[in-house]
Amino acid sequence: METNMNALLSTIEKTRIEMIDLAQQYGYSNQNVVQCSQKLDSLLNVYRSKEIKH
């Protein structure tokens, strides 16, 4: 289970960095930035739900 959480955290961090890079390039209201932000929110919700269960 620890490996899954580490993989999830890694994906969260990569997505966060991607979102920041996109925002710097295109601005915060760009559709790609918004989609990346939504993906990050979803990943964080998964992480939070797994943390609550343990």
Predicted local distance difference test score (pLDDT) of residue 2 = 80
Total Cβ atoms within 10 A of residue 36: 19
DSSP-derived secondary structure for the chain: -HHHHHHHHHHHHHHHHHHHHHHHHH-TTSHHHHHHHHHHHHHHHHHHHHHHH-
pLDDT digits (tens, 9 = 90+) for 1-54: 688 999 999 999 999 999 999 999 999 999 999 999 999 999 999 999 998 886
Of the CATH numbers 3.30.70.100, 4.10.280.10, 2.60.40.10, 1.10.3720.10, which one belongs to the domain with range 2-53? 4.10.280.10
pTM: 0.89
Question: What residue segments make up the domains of the chain, in order of their start?
Answer: 2-53
- Look at residue 35 in the predicted model and tell me its pLDDT: 98
Distance in angstroms (rounded) separating the CA atoms of residues 51 and 4 = 12
